Chains A and B, each alone.
Chain A
């Protein structure tokens, strides 16, 4: 990571006001790669590294800084200014950059022949339309940006990849605009937006995957992981999780040198989606889900509280499924009080509290997509209840009738002793209980040594 000492010309002319300026530090992205963030951390400690802030207070300064950095045709320069072409960056709030047609503002632009000139103007026009809540128009402009980038850079530039940091930015904006258009401007275009976005991003992904150059400075393969993360987001939004499988396989067979180049945000995001997908794949993939979500949580910096909370929303049910009960402290720290009755219910076999918790917070659990996952914890609640019965009875021989009676007492809608037997059978097969059932005596016979397995986690 190099320190770029660039001074805006406008700095010499007048002092910029806080409301109408954007400052861009030389730190390249909100989530720098691990090696870069370590370097910055170390240098901050040493106090021999100054990060210069670049001030943008006019279209002129914005344009010139962007073009100067992009004309260097260097990965780090592109990465530095990539946020200035993102609709999610704060510069899109500056009134002097919300330009429907920047040709009028600065007709005599020094780099008017450059393809980036077109891209910058389209980007600012898209920002303008977003500010006017005309998402459909902004979406079409963004589509044009992506197509221009693809045609003029991705497909034409063969032996370089310095422009690739922009790919993730453009695709991310395209996806977000597609979602907003679908929500607000459905009547303008009835075709499914996200499907179009998926097709566009997939075509870019294929170009990157098919590049066989070995040189890391030239190969487009370095963009596979950010593109994979974008596709993950799209396919999750479309609820087409089956399409994630080939993407995951491609990453698994990727050369380790590409994995080390992964940015921290991509690493966290990739593991987060991997974990989510494993949850939806079913019970046999809980270990995979646990590992991936643990990785995502541990690598997600603490200052990204919302991201860590989002990871926990999926990790907590997985942990509980594997036999680990979260503490009330962590629920409080991450404002996940909705899980409290679930945790209490599963821990103490309090089925009433468990079901009440599911019902009271059903909207939260449904919108998070974990309602079914939590419903599966019913078997663990039944297990905890059975353990309490075992504790009271103090015998390895427990009558099914007693368990049925207890289930009905705690409010379960079960009339049939066969159903009570079914519940126990499921727990035996699932490895939670060691023992067997005698059909003729209607008895559960537990193993004398450790009838209940502790943690299923491996």
Chain B
């Protein structure tokens, strides 16, 4: 990304570096490594750098470019956070910087999993997401003002976290925005699949949809297990198009693949479809394939 032709296939020695494209990379901390003050970028430079990196996302939108773009931006964002931590910026500046990064991480996760990116490490990405959100939350607790949208993204992402409801009240207080989020948390806790998937369908902002998206697979699994019992009487049919719509599947085909796996139907889905007589395969959320997450 720091060369004249970042996406051309050529030998390393043939690449021509362009200094105006160079951005400080992440440097792994070590016991014998010193941090020099002159290397730490001030806040104004960090903002400009972040905006430059986000600009690259707009410039390079083709799927075959994503692997290189993702690897570069993820690393440079990590370096920005490193400089941010070292100089202990005031909370509002931390929030400003991190609120620019958070949408990238949320969108990047989905894109990397959809495109099966080689250099994408799910665990590392998740831990960087955690680190970013945790510093953002800490800055909020220390008096920084946060945006409602990122607050939503935080709650959506951590919807299955044990004490998320208490965190909403403790950190964000009782506001209209937090009340709406609490309703979603309670809907999730009370297994109100209908409401969850309706909210998912209604979301227009990409990174918010992608924040909620991570829970889609496990909730669909739970919902189908519930429906098998509640709608599983003899003679009771359940139209597949209704089921697909209820669980926000983009097509009946994706739903079919999920039903085949869950109910062990290698020969296909019986039409008309009924939950009656179906037995569940022992699968857990870690075994869910891409179809379970299709939106």
CB distance from B208 to the nearest CB of A (A): 21
CB pair B163–A239 under 8 Å, yes or no, is yes
Closest B residue to A416 by beta carbon equals B194
Chain A residues numbered 422-458 whose CB sits less than 8 Å from any CB in chain B: 422-426, 428-429, 436-440, 445
A-B CB contact pairs (8 Å), 8 listed: A376-B190, A379-B190, A422-B195, A424-B230, A429-B226, A436-B230, A436-B236, A439-B239
Chain A 344-380 interface 0/1 with B at a Cβ cutoff of 8 Å (1 = within): 0000000000000000001000100101100110110
CB distance from B128 to the nearest CB of A (A): 23
The docked-state distance in angstroms from the alpha carbon of A366 to that of B195 is 25
The docked-state distance in angstroms from the alpha carbon of A437 to that of B236 is 8
The contact of B194 among A371, A418, A429, by CB within 8 Å, is: A418
The docked-state distance in angstroms from the alpha carbon of A423 to that of B195 is 11
Closest A residue to B237 by beta carbon equals A440
Chain A residue numbers with a CB within 8 Å of B195 are 416, 419, 422
B→A interface (CB under 8 Å): 162-163, 165-166, 169, 174, 183, 186, 189-195, 198, 226-227, 229-233, 236-239, 242, 246
Chain A residue numbers with a CB within 8 Å of B230 are 424-426, 428-429, 436-437
CB distance from A254 to the nearest CB of B (A): 28
Chain A residue numbers with a CB within 8 Å of B162 are 280
CB pair B231–A439 under 8 Å, yes or no, is yes
**Counting CB contacts under 8 A, is A187 at the interface?**
no
Chain A residue numbers with a CB within 8 Å of B246 are 418
Chain A 87-122 interface 0/1 with B at a Cβ cutoff of 8 Å (1 = within): 000000000000000000000000000000000000
Chain B residue numbers with a CB within 8 Å of A19 are none
* Inter-chain contact total with CB atoms closer than 8 Å: 75
The contact of B231 among A378, A379, A419, A437, by CB within 8 Å, is: A437
**Counting CB contacts under 8 A, is A329 at the interface?**
no
CB pair A372–B231 under 8 Å, yes or no, is no
Chain A residue numbers with a CB within 8 Å of B191 are 422, 426
The contact of A371 among B165, B233, B236, B242, by CB within 8 Å, is: B165
CB pair B192–A422 under 8 Å, yes or no, is yes
Closest B residue to A443 by beta carbon equals B236
The docked-state distance in angstroms from the alpha carbon of A418 to that of B247 is 11
**Counting CB contacts under 8 A, is A298 at the interface?**
no
5 extra interface residue pairs, beta carbon distance < 8 Å, beyond A419-B198, A422-B191, A439-B242: A372-B189, A426-B190, A426-B230, A429-B226, A437-B231
Closest A residue to B186 by beta carbon equals A375
The docked-state distance in angstroms from the alpha carbon of A436 to that of B226 is 11
| Contact A423-B192, Cβ < 8 Å, known A429-B229, A445-B233 | yes
CB distance from A416 to the nearest CB of B (A): 6
Chain B residue numbers with a CB within 8 Å of A428 are 229-230
Closest B residue to A282 by beta carbon equals B162
Closest A residue to B242 by beta carbon equals A439
CB pair A419–B192 under 8 Å, yes or no, is yes
**Counting CB contacts under 8 A, is A191 at the interface?**
no
**Counting CB contacts under 8 A, is A333 at the interface?**
no
CB pair B231–A425 under 8 Å, yes or no, is yes
| Contact A426-B169, Cβ < 8 Å, known A375-B186, A436-B233 | no
The docked-state distance in angstroms from the alpha carbon of A428 to that of B226 is 9
The docked-state distance in angstroms from the alpha carbon of A440 to that of B243 is 12
Closest A residue to B191 by beta carbon equals A426
**Counting CB contacts under 8 A, is A183 at the interface?**
no
Closest A residue to B170 by beta carbon equals A366
| Contact A366-B231, Cβ < 8 Å, known A239-B163, A376-B190, A439-B238 | no
| Contact A366-B239, Cβ < 8 Å, known A425-B230, A436-B233 | no
A→B interface (CB under 8 Å): 239, 280, 362, 366, 369, 371-372, 375-376, 378-379, 413, 416, 418-419, 421-426, 428-429, 436-440, 445
The docked-state distance in angstroms from the alpha carbon of A421 to that of B227 is 10
- Determine which residue in A366, A371, A437, A439 has the highest number of CB atoms from chain B within 10 A of its CB, and name it: A439
CB distance from B280 to the nearest CB of A (A): 13
Closest A residue to B238 by beta carbon equals A439
CB distance from A366 to the nearest CB of B (A): 6
CB pair B169–A366 under 8 Å, yes or no, is yes
The 7 nearest A-B residue pairs measured at CB: A425-B230, A436-B233, A419-B194, A422-B194, A428-B230, A418-B194, A439-B238
Chain B residue numbers with a CB within 8 Å of A366 are 166, 169
The docked-state distance in angstroms from the alpha carbon of A423 to that of B231 is 13
CB distance from A382 to the nearest CB of B (A): 9
- Determine which residue in A239, A371, A379, A429 has the highest number of CB atoms from chain B within 10 A of its CB, and name it: A429
CB pair A439–B236 under 8 Å, yes or no, is yes
CB distance from A122 to the nearest CB of B (A): 35
Closest B residue to A445 by beta carbon equals B233
The docked-state distance in angstroms from the alpha carbon of A362 to that of B190 is 19
Chain B residue numbers with a CB within 8 Å of A375 are 165, 186, 189-190
Chain B residue numbers with a CB within 8 Å of A280 are 162
Closest A residue to B246 by beta carbon equals A418
The docked-state distance in angstroms from the alpha carbon of A378 to that of B185 is 13
The docked-state distance in angstroms from the alpha carbon of A410 to that of B226 is 26
CB distance from A90 to the nearest CB of B (A): 36
Chain B residue numbers with a CB within 8 Å of A362 are 174
Chain B residue numbers with a CB within 8 Å of A437 are 230-231, 236
The docked-state distance in angstroms from the alpha carbon of A439 to that of B237 is 7
Chain B residue numbers with a CB within 8 Å of A416 are 194-195, 198
CB distance from A422 to the nearest CB of B (A): 4
The docked-state distance in angstroms from the alpha carbon of A422 to that of B231 is 11
Closest B residue to A424 by beta carbon equals B230
CB pair B229–A378 under 8 Å, yes or no, is no
Chain A residue numbers with a CB within 8 Å of B186 are 375, 378
| Contact A440-B239, Cβ < 8 Å, known A378-B186, A429-B229 | yes
Chain A residue numbers with a CB within 8 Å of B166 are 366, 369, 371-372
Closest A residue to B236 by beta carbon equals A438
The docked-state distance in angstroms from the alpha carbon of A369 to that of B190 is 18
- Determine which residue in A371, A379, A436 has the highest number of CB atoms from chain B within 10 A of its CB, and name it: A436
| Contact A436-B232, Cβ < 8 Å, known A413-B183, A429-B226 | yes
The docked-state distance in angstroms from the alpha carbon of A426 to that of B163 is 22
The docked-state distance in angstroms from the alpha carbon of A445 to that of B237 is 14
Chain B residue numbers with a CB within 8 Å of A376 are 189-190
The contact of A425 among B165, B189, B227, B233, by CB within 8 Å, is: B227
Chain B residue numbers with a CB within 8 Å of A440 are 236-239
CB distance from B200 to the nearest CB of A (A): 14
Chain A residue numbers with a CB within 8 Å of B198 are 416, 419
CB distance from B111 to the nearest CB of A (A): 31
